[in-house]
Chains A and B, each alone.
Chain A
């Protein structure tokens, strides 16, 4: 079975500050890991994904995440927060690169303070 734990349901940062959203996973097989962003009343947009290539994955909008097998983590970071980054972020895991259903974490709401 696979599962994802996102630490912190709500994270608040100042504009220009570092963004760090935490995600830990559990998987009995080598995982594929994803980060999605959801704006209010909208669907999910893929930020980035780890598919067993490079452990440091760069995504859209300046986000990146590092896969650490020893820590079973896949934390999402961005060096400098922008007001437009305020949204809900979901970490997800699947057995392969996409053709199986995703198991989502509970989400972390990011607030950016001016």
Chain B
């Protein structure tokens, strides 16, 4: 099946710094990628929809200036958490939409962010 990677898999940063998370579709092109956030022992909540070459669409309550999304190519979307705070500590998961495989979403392995 299609493979989606995320980098880094785990990051620890100080409060106030910015962190960039990459999501790559390794063997297919994805015009659409989704970013989800998962708090401990909770479900995944959609943060934003990322479309190649256009601005991301954010869900209600998600600050677009804090969570910057860039989908500059058909295989790469990045999520930058700006001025991170401890409450941003979470598991961030991306998914990429494969137009070939029946529009199935393929999920990355996730990035665990810990803000001290």
Q: Report which A residues bind B (CB closer than 8 A).
A: 36, 41-46, 49, 90, 96-99, 101-107
| Interface residue SS majority, chain A | loop
Q: Which residue in B99, B102, B105, B112 is a CB contact (below 8 Å) of A102?
A: B105
- Is there an interface contact between B110 and A99, defined as CB atoms closer than 8 Å? no
Number of chain B residues close to chain A: CB under 8 A: 25
- Is there an interface contact between B110 and A97, defined as CB atoms closer than 8 Å? no
Q: Is B115 an interface residue (CB 8 A)?
A: no
Tell whether A101 pairs with B49 under 8 Å between CB atoms, given A43-B108, A106-B43, A107-B43: yes
Identify the closest chain A residue to B9 (Cβ). Answer: A41
- Is there an interface contact between A98 and B34, defined as CB atoms closer than 8 Å? no
- Is there an interface contact between B34 and A44, defined as CB atoms closer than 8 Å? no
Return chain A residues, CB-CB under 8 Å to B6: 43
- Is there an interface contact between A42 and B109, defined as CB atoms closer than 8 Å? yes
- Is there an interface contact between B102 and A97, defined as CB atoms closer than 8 Å? yes
A42 to B44, CA, bound (A): 13
- Is there an interface contact between A98 and B104, defined as CB atoms closer than 8 Å? yes
Q: Is B97 an interface residue (CB 8 A)?
A: yes
Return chain B residues, CB-CB under 8 Å to A90: 43-44
Tell whether A99 pairs with B32 under 8 Å between CB atoms, given A41-B112, A45-B107: yes
A98 to B105, CA, bound (A): 6
Return chain A residues, CB-CB under 8 Å to B95: 44, 102
- Is there an interface contact between A42 and B110, defined as CB atoms closer than 8 Å? yes
B13 CB to closest chain A CB, in angstroms? Answer: 18
Chain B CB count within 10 A is highest, among A43, A45, A49, A99, for: A43
